[in-house]
Amino acid sequence: MCGAVLKDLAREVVSLLQEQDLTVATAESCTGGSIAAAITSVAGCSSVMLGGVVAYHNDVKVNVLGVNRSFLDTLGAVSEPVVEQMACGVSELTGARCAVATSGVAGPGGGTAEKPVGTVWVALRMDDKVETHLLNLGDKGRETNIDKCVSVVLGLLRDMLLRR
């Protein structure tokens, strides 16, 4: 996605969070902090952005975000229950009313028949409500997959805020 479009989307998200007096935090695996970076690139974001955790290793998912180890062992990190727990964990850790979490296969390797490259689970939490989305980005290259995921997540967060 074009950098200008992503910046506009991040500005819109920050503005909506400010208007609604909400805070946000991120728990990122496959996006490696790129969602937090997009949000924090917006001037004035400190009024809404509380922090983020790059939980790339499963031990961080468990020990910092409170993800149930049995989910990781049986379902894998790229699963709906794991991203739900990541979003809830970072929200509880920071006190943010909104949270986003990502876990997926950015590529170029690491994909399987069940979870090919470009498979990403996303969770968005607002207060006690969590919604999840399964993205199938395809094998477009690591950087493209991460950029696309960031733009989709910011768009989903924007849409959630607009429905509030």
CATH number of 31's domain? 3.90.950.20
**Domain count for the chain:** 1
Q: Which two tokens stand for residue 117?
A: 């490259």
Structure confidence by residue, pLDDT tens digits, 52-84: 999 999 999 999 999 999 999 999 999 999 999
Burial of residue 73, with CB atoms counted within 10 A of its CB: 0-12 exposed, 13-18 middle, 19 or more buried: exposed
Length of the chain in terms of residues written: 164
Range of the domain at 121: 3-163
pLDDT(37) > 80: yes
Contact 40/52 with Cβ under 8 angstroms? no
pLDDT-above-70 percentage for the chain: 99
Q: pLDDT of 112-123, one tens digit each?
A: 999 999 999 999
Mean pLDDT of the chain: 96
